[in-house]
């Protein structure tokens, strides 16, 4: 199962928008895609669905058609996970809907994590709950790839989400705070991976297959950079120049001071800040690169729509190559 978590310790870099548009573009390129909203703030679900549909999925009492609903029997002590509802966004693209109630299970996830090292059965069931839900849903959807949106923190929910991830893409903005986020992110990912590799052999055979917990680094996506005459502005260029070394040292664990090739092989793609397109996309409930004149994308906006399409197509084609699912790009 190819599951890609989009993760940084710094919020506000456009991570959820990146997941949303990448999911649609993967579908555009002929992949069957399952987007998974594992951020308790549920921003991916809010971006993908209108309020009327969210009211149906988030009633006042139980939420059986959300990710929380799929794991609630386990955390509520009444059973194990159950199949997650897959909300169809298109024939090829499905969404496992997020839920603010996910924050209720953070303490349980935190408590059970160290108990995996003791080989306790419930600890493994709790820690792998997200992975097992995703695996079953991916099989049912016949998904080629899962894209997972997580919150910008280093808490227990994200740890369980990353255990479920085969790969990690890091969205970054060219600013000081993203650099600090990388400094926190890299060592934490390695610690989580190492702990899981120690714990995994202690799972009993009765628990069945366990996630590999690879968290393989795919690279970083430079988000929201401002351009002038096709080049990053001076303020952004300063921080952009420091990102390659920060990524190699913090995320990959390389020794300090190593030279960085140009272009940086770890930078997957640069995504410009399409300020004028996002409001139209939100109003139309479609990706920015799918906007039409009827949506208000006229004149110079159409040039931006095409550039946006090219940016995201290049992004998903390169990600597909790096995670081993490349099948060529559609025009």
> pLDDT, tens digit, for every residue of 30-74?
999 999 999 999 999 999 999 999 999 988 777 889 999 999 999
Please indicate, yes or no, whether the overall pTM of this predicted structure exceeds 0.75: yes
What is residue 225's predicted lDDT score, i.e. its pLDDT?
Answer: 54
CA angle at residue 323 from 190 to 263, to 5 degrees? Answer: 85
Lowest mean pLDDT among 18-22, 66-70, 104-108, 183-187: 183-187
SS3 call for 270: strand
What is residue 223's predicted lDDT score, i.e. its pLDDT?
Answer: 85
Q: Determine the average pLDDT of the residues in 207-232.
A: 79
Highest mean pLDDT, choosing among 61-65, 157-161, 292-296:
157-161
pLDDT at position 331 over 50: no
pLDDT at position 235 over 80: no
**Of residues 257 and 23, which shows the higher confidence score?**
23
Lowest mean pLDDT among 123-137, 225-239, 314-328: 225-239
Average pLDDT, the chain: 89
CA angle at residue 213 from 196 to 327, to 5 degrees? Answer: 170
pLDDT at position 11 over 50: yes
What is residue 224's predicted lDDT score, i.e. its pLDDT?
Answer: 66
What is residue 233's predicted lDDT score, i.e. its pLDDT?
Answer: 60
What is residue 282's predicted lDDT score, i.e. its pLDDT?
Answer: 82
What is residue 90's predicted lDDT score, i.e. its pLDDT?
Answer: 96
Highest mean pLDDT, choosing among 75-89, 245-259, 273-287:
75-89
The CA distance from 269 to 29, in Å, is 17
85: left (phi over 0), alpha (psi -120 to 50) or beta: beta
What is residue 226's predicted lDDT score, i.e. its pLDDT?
Answer: 53
Lowest mean pLDDT among 105-114, 259-268, 297-306: 297-306
- Phi and psi at residue 265, in whole multiples of 5°? -70, -15
> pLDDT, tens digit, for every residue of 130-156?
999 999 999 999 999 999 999 988 899
Which numeric CATH code is attached to 3-274? Answer: 3.40.50.300
Q: 59: Cβ–Cβ under 8 A, 6 or more apart, which residues?
A: none
pLDDT at position 116 over 80: yes
């Amino acid at each position: 199962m190819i599951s890609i978590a989009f993760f940084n310790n710094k919020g506000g870099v456009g991570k959820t928008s990146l997941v949303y548009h990448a999911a649609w573009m993967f579908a555009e390129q002929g992949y069957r895609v399952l987007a998974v909203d594992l951020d308790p703030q549920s921003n991916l679900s809010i971006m993908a669905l209108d309020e009327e549909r969210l009211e149906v999925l988030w009633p006042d009492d139980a939420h059986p058609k959300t990710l929380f609903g799929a794991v609630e029997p386990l955390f509520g002590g009444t059973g194990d996970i159950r199949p997650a509802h897959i909300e169809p966004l298109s024939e090829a693209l499905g969404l496992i809907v997020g839920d603010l109630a996910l924050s209720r299970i953070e303490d349980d996830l935190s408590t059970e994590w160290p108990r995996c090292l003791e080989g306790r059965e419930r600890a493994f069931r709790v820690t792998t709950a997200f992975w097992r839900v995703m695996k079953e849903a991916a099989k049912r959807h016949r998904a080629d790839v899962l894209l997972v949106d997580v919150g910008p923190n280093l808490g227990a929910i994200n740890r369980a989400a990353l255990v479920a991830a085969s790969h990690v893409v890091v969205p970054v903005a060219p600013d000081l705070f993203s650099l600090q986020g990388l400094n926190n992110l890299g060592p934490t990912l390695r610690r989580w991976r190492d702990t899981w590799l120690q714990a995994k052999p202690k799972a009993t055979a009765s628990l069945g297959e366990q996630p590999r917990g690879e968290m393989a680094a795919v690279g970083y996506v430079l988000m929201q950079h401002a351009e002038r005459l096709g080049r990053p502005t001076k303020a952004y260029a300063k921080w952009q120049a420091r990102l390659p070394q920060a990524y190699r040292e913090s995320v990959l664990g390389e020794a300090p001071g190593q030279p960085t090739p140009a272009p940086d092989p770890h930078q997957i793609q640069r995504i410009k800040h399409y300020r004028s397109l996002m409001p139209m996309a939100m109003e139309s409930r479609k990706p920015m690169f799918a906007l039409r004149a009827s949506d208000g994308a006229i004149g110079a906006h159409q040039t931006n729509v095409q550039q946006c399409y090219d940016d995201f197509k290049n992004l998903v084609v390169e990600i597909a190559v790096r995670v081993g699912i490349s099948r060529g790009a559609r025009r």
